[in-house]
Structure 1
Amino acid sequence: MIIISSRLDFTNSDALLPEGHIIKEIDISNDSTIREIPIANLLTELHGKFVCMLVHGYNNEHEEVRDAYQILEKNIIHNNFKYDLVLGYSWPGGNRELEWWSSKSRANAVARRFRLLLELISKNTKIDIISHSLGARVCLKALKEASTKLIENYYCMAGAVDNESIEIDEEFNLSLSSLERLFVMHSAKDEVLATAYRIAEFDNALGLFGPEDKDQVERKLLNVYVANCKRVVTHHGGYKRSIAVFDYMAKTQVHNPNRFITL
C-alpha cells in the first residue's frame, strides 16, 4: 500500500513534518519499505485512476494505522469496490488517550496540506475517502477550504466532530460543496464518543447519533446520507470489521441508497 504521511520521520505520532509529505509504498504485512515515491511520480501513477484514501483518527501509533489499513484494504477488495488503488494517509493523531486537544489542534493544522494534496491528485484522478473518528476533522476542514469539488464519495465513520457541524451556518457546512456525496455512519454503541468525546467537548459527536437536525439534512442537505450502524457496530473501532458496513458502502457505488437507513 502507498502511505502518504505528514508525520515527522514518517511514523512520529505527535509531530508534524515541517511541510509537505513523505510518500512510501509499504508492505503492510511486515512494515518494510518497498520504495519512496516523489509526489510527481505519484501523480503520474494515479493519472486516470479511481482511488480510495484512508484517513485514521485519534490515538494511533504507526503500527496501529498500518494494521487498520490492512484490514480496510482487505474488506474493500473482498467486496469488489470499483477502486483501482487504495491509499493510506497518515497524520500525527497522538498515541495516548489524554492528549485530545493537542491532537485536535494537529488535525486542524494538517488540513491545509491535506487539501493541497487532494487538489493535486483530483486534477486527473477520482477520489473517495474513508475516515475514522478524528480523521473527520482532517477531511472536513480540508474540504471546507477547497474552492472546487475534490471528492466523489466520503464515508465518514464514527466522526469525532460535533453533531451539528455539517448543518447550515455551522463549522463544516461548506465542506459539502467540495464532495459529491457524504455518508455519515454512526453508532449509539460507540463507547469512546459516548464518554470521552462528551467529556472533552460538552457535546455529542456526529458519529454517535448522526446529525443533530435530521429534518434539515433530509430537506436541505441533499448530498448527505445517514447510516445508523448501531446493530452492526458495537464499539468505536468496529466499523472496519463489519461485513454489513462494507456491503452497504459497496452498494452505494452502484446506486443511491435511502437518505436515512439502519443497517
Structure 2
Amino acid sequence: MMRHYKAYCFDLDGTMYRGSEPIQEAVDFVAACQAEGKGTYFITNNAALTRTAQQKKLANFGVNTEVDFIMNSATTLARYCKQHFEGAHVMMIGEEGLREALELENIHITTTNPDVVLMGLDRQVTYNKLADACLAIRNGAHFLGTNSDIKFPTEKGLVPANGSFLKLMEVATDTKPLIVGKPEPHMLEFIRQQGMYEKEDMILIGDNYDTDIMAGIRYGIDTAYVATGVTPMEEVLKKAQQPTYLLNSLADWLK
C-alpha cells in the first residue's frame, strides 16, 4: 500500500524527463499531487541550468511550479559556500546555473588566486580552465563540487556528467572534492526547513539509485525508485539497502 505524503521530492533527469522528452507518467503524477494540494519539489544535481530555465523546461512539458520549489545543486553549493567560506574569492567551472546561484549569494567570482574552486558541469570546458583550477587547488584552494554524477540520461543515451570531470580533477590534484549534491542530504534539509516538514512527511522519487535513492536513505526519509532512467531494476534489487517502493514508472503508483 502506497502511503500519502505532504512533500514529494522529484528528481528531474531520468525521472521527469530524458533530455528534451518528457516522461508522461511522471508529468501526470505531479499533476495529481498538485490537484490534491501536496507539496511538489524538484531536486536535481544539474547545475548547468538556472532555476528559471529549469522552471521553463518543466512548463514546456506541462509541469507548473514556482522557482522556489526547484532545488538544484548550484543553489545548494552557493548556500553552502556562503555559510562556510564567507568573503572568499571563488573560481568556478560551470555554466549559467552556477554563476547565477553564486551571484545571488553575493559571492566574489575570480579567475586568479582563488580561496575556493567550485566545479559544476561545464559543457564548454577547456583544458586551460581545468589546468588553472588544478593549479589553484594544488596551491591550497578548497575544492568543492556540485555533484558526483558520473553520467546522465539524454534522448540519445547516457553522456558524461560532472562526476566524470571531478574524478579527472581529483587524480590531477591528489585532492578529493567536497560534494553538496545528491547523495549528500543538503538539498533535502533545505526543503524540510522551507516547508517546515517532519521527515516522515517527505518522500524522494528518483531513477538513480546511487544519487537519488541513497540521498533519501541517508537523510532518513522514504524513497521511490522508478525504472525510467539511469539504474536498471535488476541492479536495484541486488542492493543491500532497498527503496521504500520499487516502480516501473509512476503510473504504477496511480493504479
Normalising to structure 1: TM-score of the pair? 0.35
Larger Rg over CA atoms: 2
Normalising to structure 2: TM-score of the pair? 0.36
Structure with more relative contact order (C-alpha pairs < 8 Å, separation 6 or more): 2
